Amino acid sequence: MQHQHGMTGLTVLGSTGSIGTSTLDVVARHPDRYRVIALTACRQDEVLFGQCVRFKPKFAVMVESDAAARLKQRIADAGLETAVLCGVAALEQVASLPEVDAVMAAIVGAAGLRASLAAANSGKRILLANKEALVMAGRIFMDAVRQNHATLLPIDSEHNAIFQALPAGYAGSMSDSGVSRILLTASGGPFRSTSMEDLKNVTPEQACAHPNWVMGRKISVDSATMMNKGLEVIEAHWLFNASADDIQVVVHPQSVIHSMVQYVDGSVLAQLGNPDMRTPIAHAMAYPERIDAGVAPLDLFKIATLDFVEPDFQRFPCLALAYQALRAGGTAPAILNAANEVAVEAFLNREIAFLEVPQLIADVLDKQPQDIVDTLEDVLAADAEARRLAGEWIRQ
């Protein structure tokens, strides 16, 4: 899907976040391969301006209008030719421009859903880092990918590892490929061995201090509750057409093995590497080729040992809730995701305790009837209702 001159036109949705900046780091290493067409951010206009100066995109999108106004002024003052667009609709626009070949979908939360879907509907190569597209609207999203001949390459280190360990050209049938199970690794987060008593008093600062990965606050809390892994189980179901029973979570504190695929003959294939998101990003950007990502080679002698532990569903009820939502199907994963987004925000704002996060989610899942998903509207209605119920739960 590259143009005659061999350059890949790229849109980065969420370019100021950790995935976005890592993507641009890889782009900067290969100026002959990638041309940045559009960059987008929610409110960090200073960071986005710096990226515009460096990569000279055709378009810059700011979701918030005052941030857009500030960026527009800066770009004019600097004499850059980048056009500044504003609002959510502009995200969909830059995800489907004709000169864009690949879209890095790295907006966190439900906010990234429509833009990721727009990329699918335009038949782009989608580098998917936004979990919610698959968690909320997995069937709709996968149908859009298939119908519009888009290419879907997962960026989560775990799903990227599974993709690499599956047979080339895997077409969605585990049995036809001789695959018996998907082994999804999890670091276990910062509270892997904290006593249940101490978990009651966990602060947002402690929850955001991840031992192995640098991440935004939302995903850091999800890692601490292990909801992150729960969302990844749901994603793996859609990406690889695997049932809940076919996906086993393996707690692996070193985060060196990023995931594994088990085959019927007894083979287990694993993808290993240093915990650096530039590896999966570069893999997806150049697929099926390999390019330098600036990542240090893995030093096995320094690592010396790798540990594996079964996940504790008592300690991490969010993981159990995600499996429950996946088995229920329909709108249940969208409800789970929305309630979790509200709960995490409330925890970060010190409105609820750490152990109340799974309680809130469980109560919303119990209270809200689960429907089938036919359209995006079904998903968004379930999302809105779950947010309303979660808000009530916090205020009660």
176/102 same-domain check? no
Answer whether residue 286 is part of any domain.
no
347-387 per-position pLDDT tens digit: 999 999 999 999 999 999 999 999 999 999 999 999 999 99
201/145 same-domain check? no
167-183 per-position pLDDT tens digit: 998 999 999 999 999 99
Question: Which structural domain, as residue segments, surrounds residue 360?
Answer: 329-396
Mean pLDDT value across residues 27-51: 97
pLDDT of residue 214: 76
Among 106, 126, 154, the domain boundary falls at 154
CATH code of 41's domain: 3.40.50.720
The rounded percent of the chain whose pLDDT value lies above 90 is: 93
277-312 per-position pLDDT tens digit: 999 999 999 999 999 999 999 999 999 999 999 999
Q: Mean pLDDT of all residues in the chain?
A: 95
Tally of residues, the chain: 396
Answer whether residue 169 is part of any domain.
yes
Q: Does residue 192 carry a pLDDT above 80?
A: yes
138/186 same-domain check? no
At residue 4 the predicted structure's pLDDT band, cuts being 50, 70 and 90, is very low
70-84 per-position pLDDT tens digit: 999 999 999 999 999
pLDDT of residue 25: 98
317/333 same-domain check? no
Mean pLDDT value across residues 249-258: 96
Domain count along the chain: 3
Q: Does residue 216 carry a pLDDT above 90?
A: no
